[in-house]
């Protein structure tokens, strides 16, 4: 008689500690696939074009972009918020799910954290290059100086600098800390004469002693405790850029929770996009199972619904506030010249994710992949709608204007995607995409074949 | 076992002498250095390598140190300081701008020997301290690269001696041969110059003087000649008129003396001094003009219907007055009520027409005579002496030239090859002449056709005088030595006539003989110096004149009704900035948005919305007119269906890099009718030949969307309730409650009041601001990309139907909010608040996040998208299509205002440099600042006196009085930004019962 598992197994196939190590370190030990070379060529080409476009912008001026007198922020800030949003999944998965003791995170946390770091790095590019005078960017740091000038602590942009850099720092620490045991594994396995010393250096003398493990575990908890509030604070602070302004469509108290939910939503979508490709390309189907995908989809529908409620609340508040400017902005979003962007956002973020209520669709890899792309697009448009449609028709109709990106702006955006994928491809080539030690930790509890398999050591 | 030490206390071990020694030499020196520095070099172990290392290091250090050195710039002080020049302190010289089309008495601001700004001369009784856009921009013409830098003979550089010799020889030869030579000038208002021309003619009797105005007012001269026997253009008093009826006369924009009329008009509309009434203004016109947009009622009329309408009006008035009416003519509008109201305002009304058709001007004279307006609102005794060109004279000249009857022509300040309809023919004829001399200041189409170019000096480099009205004299004096090898035309004529005196001496002599005797001053030098200092000298005007009206001339007109062809009627007009095109090469004027269309850098065909719908035309469609000229369409609300309008002054071929290739020359579209140059014509053919032509406009949305941006009420409502139209202001004051402590301004608190009743929208303030604050010019491409830089703009909205919109207008500049949204979002505190209420910008602190610009509800902040000014630290990235960074043009920069680099936000500073200057002056002179002592550039330039700047803490100041007016409101005051700019509600007769329906 078929025994129904209490929980769906998180590992399938023929597994042992040795097999797990062998499976996960395989991409590092073997020569990369042709597709990997194709991928990195394409992404670094995009990155190169992007960097050229960025240099041109810094040299010639932000006038190369389509932004203007009325719309001071365009694609750059849209991209900033989008990338920061994507950067939310990693820390959410590793920190908050760790605190909630969700075991299914172990298969995805490593790559999600890497994605977080690369996304935050991509995000960090945009506030820098959108500045009119990049060489003076250090003015934004509160350091003592002979000019006797201090920064303006009232400005949300300053809070941004602090929030994003803290987030990047903690994310990198958390990621690296978690990777130390695996780096030691690599140190012992990898034969390459250049890489081996590198892993040796990075593994900080890890021997796997009980004392090491004890310190490692407690440090993980401490960092998780530090990182968890950051997940909530970073995007709240990014949302303050808009919420503390006077511009209708920006000046909204709902923004912090709305932005955080949206960020986790988009982050999970990006994790899904990447993981669905990675599990196929790197033969990790046993580690990232349909069950993992379903768990992620459950979070996606929860977050998607929060975002949907936020959209509708915004519309209601615009009507209820009685402010003609507020009402107009939302009417204009839905019916004005940028209505197409609004409806892309609405359908991608609110409508299609609702299909996940069907179990079969939650467990369909094809559907999930397509939906994750839709959500990535939808969340980009959400930021575009917020940034551009609020600005383009604000208080005085005399200043109303339109915005469209120039090829330079598009090249910078695709360049940031190029940088992201280049870094990610390098990551999967040189670091374990799945936390080996952590997956081993759940082998006894969440592996379908465990009780019957006497090969286990 | 090896002994280990555990702390410094037991180190060194007491019985280890080696270790103790080592501790004694705590300061360890690098053995290599020791050896190297040792005197015993021969025994030294310093290797060749060490030597090379040190050698290399010193070379590298020297190289780095040398290349870091800044170039030495020497500032050489005056050995003997010239009188009146204090480095860093501006001097003002009175002068006169008179170019034949415009007159303005001005003060020239000179900093360190360079004229950098033009202000109005408040002593002038005519312009009264006001200026126009062209006057403001004229200082930049001084630094125009398109100016001739030396004399030319057949296009080659020559010197004056050679040119003088050849021209004099040629004149002598022609004189002896008795061949006619014409001296073609624009209207000359200089009495000395006119006398000089007489003397020139005495020397060369074959020379005839002909006056040619690019935009002719010949019909007015002729009409006054016919009915009064006085060939003149009278003076008008718009301030005395209670009812103004204008038939297409754009008297606030381009018609005759606009600076003077704008002030008069604004006074007639003023309600700030307790007035209980304002003038009523009715405009009949086919295109939406600046004047029409200010009118209480606007009636659409085709140019061809004007005569019919005026005839009907004349008949109605005559009938009401019991005079003999002429044959009944059907007018397109019901004029019954208008005629009644006109008669009610007899002697206090004014009817004017912008037409150049004699019959129309005769009718206008007839109507004004019936209304007894002569001697009250129209002054024939003190005529306006600008625009003296007669079409018949010019027609004679053209036919003489065409038929080869002329031996030579001297062109002075005129450019008929460009602006005359038969320009192409003129060019060919001029090239065939024996003697063709141009006395032009900059390169022009006509000068290019001439054999000799005797380049003229700019008016700021020259002496001149003007008598624009009998009894109103003014002087122009040079404020800088000629920048190039140029000579003012009067000096050229004097030289050619064999005079030894220069023109300065000539003017002095003229004034001594003709003007000084009536002055009653003791000695001439005192008189001369006073007049020169003041810029103006006024004697008693002529006594009023009530000449006999010759009705016979009118009879002939009233019975003639020529049929008008069907078809689109094309009207040519002047834009307020570019005018007839003489200053097209001025970037400030090209970039100045048209007050109505808000278009820059182009001319176009204004098309009525109804026609556009019927013909399927949209903005940017290219239409070919009469198979001659292709112009883009601009659908203009308020345009009369069946008519098209296009601006003259564009399509210059030889004018300099700024003007060339901008727009199309429309002058050839209208052929002179018996020599009379009409302003309109029936178009023979229109073909659509293309589409998608971009017109750079600074405002593209025209509706106020029902927001309380510009508040307006009718006079009737205002008289009942002074807060009419502004009722919500009281509510806004109540809602201004706050939990936070408000900053208290203890010293000054600067504020600016803008009276929307007075602002006509002429846009002079924009040019004044650009000149004062070094605002960059960005060019058409950048304006198209919404990157224009003006610190002040005039918002224009339409309301109502597209056929007959009501126009609303409002100058918007930085509101200097005391609760400014821009200030708290700047991460580096580059924009902050002064303790006098100024919203300040520290340009060198700005890093260009543009957050402030996004958060500004008024969108008055401007970002330097590119390096427009060459102030950037990166090289090779300057974008300067208008050549404003040329070394010559940079001489116009105001040294008191920083030139901003790429990537920096800039905006109105309330002319903080002027505030500081006056505060310092008052402090040094130890007196409190008087109200009105500080004037912002926009305020000072405003011909309507619509802007008032001052201290809101001074309860006696004019600005405080205006802020206490119940008409005052703040823009977007519900946002609680607490602006320091107050607007006064526009009160007009709009919304009252129409007198034309």
B828·A241 Cβ contact <8 A: no
A247·B855 Cβ contact <8 A: yes
Please check whether residues B204 and B252 belong to one and the same domain: no
- CATH number of the domain where residue B960 is located: 3.30.70.20
Task: Check if the beta carbon of residue B465 is closer than 8 Å to that of residue B192.
Answer: yes
Cβ-nearest to A132 among B705, B821, B863: B863
Nearest-CA distance from B539 to chain A in Å? 48
- Among B67, B83, B103, residue at a domain's last position: B67
Please report whether residue B616 resides in a domain: yes
Query: Distance of CA B777 to CAs A67, B147, B773, Å?
Result: 18, 20, 12
Cβ-nearest to B849 among A131, A244, A324: A131
Please check whether residues B210 and B243 belong to one and the same domain: no
Please report whether residue B28 resides in a domain: yes
Main-chain dihedrals φ then ψ at residue B713, nearest 5 degrees: -145, 160
A4-9's contacts with Cβ under 8 Å and 24+ in sequence apart are A5/A448, A7/A446, A8/A289, A8/A291, A9/A289, A9/A291, A9/A446, A9/A447, A9/A448
Please check whether residues B234 and B204 belong to one and the same domain: no
Q: Does A73 touch chain B (CB under 8 A)?
A: yes
Nearest-CA distance from B719 to chain A in Å? 29
Neighbour tally for B292: CB within 10 Å: 27
Nearest-CA distance from A248 to chain B in Å? 10
In this predicted structure, the answer to whether residue A456 has a pLDDT above a threshold of 60 is no
A59·B877 Cβ contact <8 A: yes
Cβ-nearest to A245 among B782, B855, B866: B855
First to last CA, chain B: 123
Q: Residue A12's pLDDT is what? A: 77
Structural domain count, chain B:
5
Q: Does A156 touch chain B (CB under 8 A)?
A: yes
Beta-ladder partners of B555: none
Nearest-CA distance from A161 to chain B in Å? 10
A61·B877 Cβ contact <8 A: yes
Please check whether residues B288 and B354 belong to one and the same domain: yes
Q: Residue B546's pLDDT is what? A: 79
CA-based nearest residue to B959, from B753, B754, B758, B817: B753
A69·B699 Cβ contact <8 A: no
Query: Distance of CA A311 to CAs A251, A307, A347, A381, Å?
Result: 14, 6, 12, 13
Please check whether residues B661 and B632 belong to one and the same domain: yes
Residue to mutate among B598, B830, B865, B976, with most A CBs inside 10 A, is B865
B847·A59 Cβ contact <8 A: no
Average of per-residue pLDDT across A251-269:
91
ipTM of predicted assembly, 2 dp: 0.91
B828·A395 Cβ contact <8 A: no
Q: Does A140 touch chain B (CB under 8 A)?
A: yes
Please check whether residues B197 and B239 belong to one and the same domain: no
Average of per-residue pLDDT across A411-439:
91
What's the token pair of residue B552?
A: 């016979």
- CATH number of the domain where residue B604 is located: 2.40.40.20
Neighbour tally for B920: CB within 10 Å: 10
Query: Distance of CA B171 to CAs A39, B409, B455, B647, B910, Å?
Result: 84, 10, 18, 38, 56
Question: Which residue carries 């204090």 as its tokens?
Answer: B86
Alpha helices in B598-727 (DSSP H): 609-615, 715-720
Read off the pLDDT of residues A366-417 as tens digits, 9 standing for 90 and up: 999 999 999 999 999 999 999 999 999 999 999 999 999 999 999 999 999 9
CA-based nearest residue to A154, from B821, B391, B920, B973: B821
Nearest CA in chain B to A65: B865
Nearest CA in chain A to B832: A152
B864·A244 Cβ contact <8 A: no
Which sign does the torsion angle of CA B287, B289, B291, B296 carry? Answer: positive
- Interface size, chain A vs chain B, as Cβ–Cβ contacts under 8 Å: 164
Q: Does A143 touch chain B (CB under 8 A)?
A: no
Average pLDDT, chain A: 88
| Regions of chain B where pLDDT drops below 70 | 1-46, 65-71, 560-563, 997
CA-based nearest residue to A268, from A343, A425, A373: A373
Interatomic CA distance for residues A231 and A112, integer angstroms: 14
What's the token pair of residue B546?
A: 């009530």
The rounded percent of chain A whose pLDDT value lies above 90 is 54
What's the token pair of residue B300?
A: 């659409």
Please report whether residue B100 resides in a domain: no
CA geometry: angle A264, A266, A267, nearest 5 deg: 60
A63·B826 Cβ contact <8 A: no
Nearest CA in chain A to B876: A60
Residue to mutate among B843, B848, B862, with most A CBs inside 10 A, is B848
How many DSSP H helices and E strands does chain A contain?
Answer: 19, 0
Q: How does DSSP classify residue A389?
A: I
Please name the residues in contact with B341: beta carbons below 8 A apart, sequence gap of 6 or more.
B243, B280, B995
Q: Residue A83's pLDDT is what? A: 93
Domain range for B280: 222-384
Please report whether residue B102 resides in a domain: no
- CATH number of the domain where residue B334 is located: 3.40.228.10
Query: Distance of CA A193 to CAs A28, A197, A199, A369, B76, Å?
Result: 13, 7, 11, 39, 69
Nearest-CA distance from B452 to chain A in Å? 45
- Among B369, B384, B399, residue at a domain's last position: B384
Query: Distance of CA A26 to CAs A13, A115, A283, A434, Å?
Result: 17, 20, 10, 12
Q: Residue A65's pLDDT is what? A: 94
- CATH number of the domain where residue B506 is located: 3.40.50.740
B857·A397 Cβ contact <8 A: no
- Mapped onto helix, strand or coil, the DSSP state of residue B384 is strand
Please report whether residue B707 resides in a domain: no
Nearest-CA distance from A264 to chain B in Å? 26
Please check whether residues B620 and B659 belong to one and the same domain: yes
A72·B854 Cβ contact <8 A: yes
Please check whether residues B427 and B507 belong to one and the same domain: yes
Write down all domains in chain A, each with its CATH number in brackets. Answer: 17-141+153-446 (1.20.1630.10)
Nearest CA in chain B to A395: B857
- Among B361, B384, B407, residue at a domain's last position: B384
- Mapped onto helix, strand or coil, the DSSP state of residue B543 is coil
Residue numbers in B near A128 (CB within 8 A): none
Q: Residue B27's pLDDT is what? A: 46
Strands B243-247 and B349-353: parallel
Query: Distance of CA B958 to CAs A312, B278, B932, B987, Å?
Result: 51, 21, 8, 20
Nearest CA in chain B to A240: B825
Question: Which residue carries 């599990």 as its tokens?
Answer: A279
Nearest-CA distance from A46 to chain B in Å? 25
Interatomic CA distance for residues B831 and B861, integer angstroms: 11
Nearest CA in chain A to B710: A396
Beta-ladder partners of B645: B571, B606
Interatomic CA distance for residues B289 and A177, integer angstroms: 74
Interatomic CA distance for residues B793 and B813, integer angstroms: 6
Please check whether residues B210 and B226 belong to one and the same domain: no
Nearest-CA distance from B146 to chain A in Å? 29
Please check whether residues B793 and B749 belong to one and the same domain: yes
Please check whether residues B367 and B444 belong to one and the same domain: no
- Mapped onto helix, strand or coil, the DSSP state of residue B796 is strand
Please check whether residues B480 and B529 belong to one and the same domain: yes
Cβ-nearest to A246 among B849, B904, B975: B975
DSSP B914-932: HHHHHHHHHHHHT-PPPTT
Interatomic CA distance for residues A189 and B787, integer angstroms: 60
């Amino acid at each position: 008689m078929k025994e129904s598992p209490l929980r769906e197994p998180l590992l399938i196939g023929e597994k042992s500690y040795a097999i797990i190590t062998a499976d996960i370190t395989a991409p590092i030990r073997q020569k990369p696939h042709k597709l990997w070379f194709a991928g990195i060529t394409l992404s670094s080409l995009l990155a190169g074009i992007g960097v050229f476009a960025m240099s041109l912008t810094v040299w010639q001026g932000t006038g190369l972009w389509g932004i203007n007198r009325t719309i001071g922020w365009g694609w750059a800030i849209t991209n900033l918020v989008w990338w920061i949003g994507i950067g939310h999944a990693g820390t959410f998965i590793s920190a908050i799910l760790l605190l909630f003791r969700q075991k299914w995170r172990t298969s995805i946390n490593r790559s999600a954290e890497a994605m977080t770091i690369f996304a935050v790095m991509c995000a960090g590019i945009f506030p820098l290059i959108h500045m009119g005078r990049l060489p003076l960017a250090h003015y934004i740091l509160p350091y003592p100086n002979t000019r006797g000038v201090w920064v303006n602590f009232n400005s949300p942009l300053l809070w941004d600098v602090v929030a994003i850099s803290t987030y990047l720092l903690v994310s990198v620490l958390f990621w690296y800390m978690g990777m130390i045991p695996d780096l030691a594994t690599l140190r012992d396995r990898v034969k390459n004469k250049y890489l081996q010393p590198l892993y040796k250096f990075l593994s900080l003398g890890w021997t796997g002693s009980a004392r090491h493990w004890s310190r490692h575990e407690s440090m993980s908890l401490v960092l998780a405790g530090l990182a968890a509030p950051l997940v909530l604070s970073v995007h709240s602070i990014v949302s303050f850029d808009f919420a503390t302004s006077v511009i209708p469509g920006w000046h909204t108290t709902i923004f912090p929770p709305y932005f955080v939910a949206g960020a986790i939503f988009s982050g999970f979508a990006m994790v899904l996009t990447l993981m669905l490709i990675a599990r196929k390309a790197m033969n990790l189907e046993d580690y990232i199972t349909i069950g993992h995908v379903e768990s992620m989809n459950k979070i996606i529908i929860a977050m998607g619904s929060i975002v949907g409620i936020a959209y509708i609340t915004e519309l209601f508040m615009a009507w209820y506030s009685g402010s003609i400017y507020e009402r107009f902005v939302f009417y204009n979003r839905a019916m004005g010249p940028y209505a197409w962007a609004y409806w892309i956002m609405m359908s991608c973020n609110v409508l299609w994710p609702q299909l996940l209520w069907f179990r079969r669709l939650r467990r369909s890899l094809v559907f999930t992949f397509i939906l994750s792309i839709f959500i990535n697009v939808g969340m980009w448009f959400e930021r575009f709608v917020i940034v551009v449609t609020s600005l383009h028709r604000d208080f005085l109709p005399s200043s109303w204007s339109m915005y469209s990106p120039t090829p330079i702006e598009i090249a910078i955006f695709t360049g940031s995607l190029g940088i992201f994928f280049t870094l990610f491809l390098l990551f999967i080539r040189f670091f374990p995409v799945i936390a080996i030690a952590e997956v081993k930790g759940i082998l006894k509890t969440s592996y379908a074949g465990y009780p019957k398999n006497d090969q286990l050591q | 076992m090896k002994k280990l030490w555990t702390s410094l206390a037991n180190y060194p071990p007491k019985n280890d002498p080696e270790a103790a020694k080592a501790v004694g030499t705590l300061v360890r020196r690098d053995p290599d250095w020791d050896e190297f520095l040792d005197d015993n070099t021969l025994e030294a172990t310093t290797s060749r390598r060490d030597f090379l290392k040190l050698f290399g290091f010193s070379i590298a250090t020297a190289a780095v140190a040398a290349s870091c050195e800044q170039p030495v710039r020497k500032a050489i002080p005056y050995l003997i300081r010239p009188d009146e020049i204090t480095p860093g302190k501006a001097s003002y010289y009175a002068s006169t701008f008179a170019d034949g089309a415009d007159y303005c008495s001005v003060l020239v601001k000179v900093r360190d020997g360079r004229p950098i700004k033009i202000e109005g001369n408040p002593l002038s009784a005519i312009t009264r301290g006001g200026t126009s856009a062209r006057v403001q921009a004229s200082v930049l013409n001084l630094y125009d690269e398109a100016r001739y830098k030396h004399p030319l003979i057949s296009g080659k550089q020559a010197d004056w001696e050679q040119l003088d010799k050849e021209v004099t020889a040629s004149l002598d030869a022609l004189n002896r041969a008795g061949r006619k030579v014409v001296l073609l000038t624009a209207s000359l208002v200089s009495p000395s110059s006119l006398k000089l021309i007489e003397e020139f003619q005495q020397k060369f009797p074959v020379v005839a003087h002909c006056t040619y105005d690019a935009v002719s007012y010949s019909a007015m001269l002729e009409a006054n000649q016919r009915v009064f026997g006085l060939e003149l253009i009278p003076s008008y008093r718009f301030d005395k008129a209670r009812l103004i009826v204008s038939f297409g006369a754009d008297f606030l924009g381009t018609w005759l003396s606009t600076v003077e009329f704008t002030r008069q008009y604004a006074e007639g509309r003023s309600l700030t001094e307790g007035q209980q009434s304002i003038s009523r203004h009715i405009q009949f016109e086919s295109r939406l003009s600046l004047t029409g947009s200010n009118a209480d009622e606007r009636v659409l009329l085709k140019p061809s219907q004007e005569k019919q309408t005026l005839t009907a009006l004349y008949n109605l008035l005559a009938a009401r007055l019991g005079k003999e009416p002429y044959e009944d003519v059907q007018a397109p509008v019901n004029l019954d009520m208008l005629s009644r109201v006109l008669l009610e305002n007899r002697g206090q009304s004014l009817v004017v027409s912008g037409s150049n058709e004699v019959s129309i001007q005769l009718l206008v004279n007839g109507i004004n005579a019936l209304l007894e307006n002569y001697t009250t609102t129209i002054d024939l005794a003190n005529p306006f002496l600008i625009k003296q060109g007669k079409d018949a004279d010019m027609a004679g000249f053209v036919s003489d030239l065409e038929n080869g009857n002329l031996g030579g022509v001297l062109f002075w300040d005129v450019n008929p090859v460009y602006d005359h309809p038969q320009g192409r023919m003129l060019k060919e004829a001029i090239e065939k002449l024996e003697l063709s001399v141009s006395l032009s200041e900059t390169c022009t189409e006509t000068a290019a056709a001439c054999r000799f170019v005797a380049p003229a000096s700019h008016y700021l480099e020259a002496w001149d005088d003007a008598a624009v009205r009998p009894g109103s004299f003014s002087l122009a004096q040079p404020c800088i030595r000629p920048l190039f090898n140029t000579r003012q035309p009067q000096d050229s004529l004097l030289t050619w006539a064999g005079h030894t005196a220069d023109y300065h001496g000539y003017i002095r002599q003229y004034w001594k003989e003709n003007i000084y005797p009536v002055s009653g001053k003791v000695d001439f030098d005192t008189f001369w110096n006073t007049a020169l200092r003041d810029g103006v000298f006024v004697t008693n005007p002529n006594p009023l004149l009530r000449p006999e009206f010759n009705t016979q001339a009118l009879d002939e007109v009233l019975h003639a009704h020529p049929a008008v062809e069907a078809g689109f009627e094309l009207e040519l007009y002047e834009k307020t900035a570019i005018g007839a095109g003489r200053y097209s090469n001025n970037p400030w004027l090209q970039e100045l948005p048209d007050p109505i269309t808000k278009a820059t850098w182009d001319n176009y065909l204004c098309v009525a919305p109804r026609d556009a719908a019927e013909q399927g035309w949209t903005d940017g469609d290219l239409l070919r007119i009469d198979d001659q000229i292709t112009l883009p369409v601009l659908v203009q609300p308020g345009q009369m269906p069946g008519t098209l309008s296009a601006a003259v002054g564009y399509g210059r071929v030889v004018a300099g890099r700024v003007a060339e290739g901008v727009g199309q020359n429309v002058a050839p579209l209208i052929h002179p009718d018996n020599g009379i140059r009409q302003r309109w014509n029936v178009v023979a053919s229109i073909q659509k030949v293309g589409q998608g032509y971009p017109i750079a406009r600074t405002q593209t949305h025209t509706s106020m969307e029902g927001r309380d941006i510009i508040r307006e009420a009718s006079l009737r409502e205002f008289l009942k309730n002074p807060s009419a139209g502004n009722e919500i202001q009281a509510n806004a004051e109540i809602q201004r409650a706050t939990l936070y402590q408000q900053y208290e301004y203890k010293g000054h608190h600067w504020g600016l009041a803008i009276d929307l009743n007075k602002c006509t929208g002429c846009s002079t303030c924009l040019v004044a601001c650009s000149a004062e604050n070094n605002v960059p010019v960005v060019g058409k491409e950048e304006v198209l990309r919404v990157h224009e830089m003006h610190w002040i703009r005039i918002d224009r909205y339409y309301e109502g139907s597209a056929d007959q919109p009501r126009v609303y207008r409002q100058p918007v500049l930085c509101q200097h909010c005391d609760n400014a949204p821009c200030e708290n979002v700047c991460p580096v505190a580059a924009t902050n608040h002064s303790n006098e209420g100024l919203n300040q910008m520290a340009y060198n602190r700005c890093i260009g996040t543009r957050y402030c610009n996004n958060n500004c509800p008024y969108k008055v902040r401007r970002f330097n998208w590119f390096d427009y000014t060459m102030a950037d630290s990166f090289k090779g990235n300057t974008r300067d299509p208008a050549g404003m960074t040329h070394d010559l043009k940079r001489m116009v920069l105001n040294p008191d205002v920083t030139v901003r680099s790429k990537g920096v936000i800039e905006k109105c500073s309330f002319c903080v440099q002027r505030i500081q200057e006056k505060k310092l002056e008052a402090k040094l002179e130890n007196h409190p600042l008087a109200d009105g002592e500080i004037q912002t550039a926009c305020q000072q330039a405003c011909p309507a006196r619509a802007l008032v700047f001052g201290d809101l803490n001074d309860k006696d100041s004019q600005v405080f009085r205006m802020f206490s007016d119940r008409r005052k409101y703040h823009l977007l005051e519900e946002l609680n930004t607490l602006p320091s700019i107050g607007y006064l509600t526009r009160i007009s007769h709009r919304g009252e019962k129409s007198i034309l329906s």
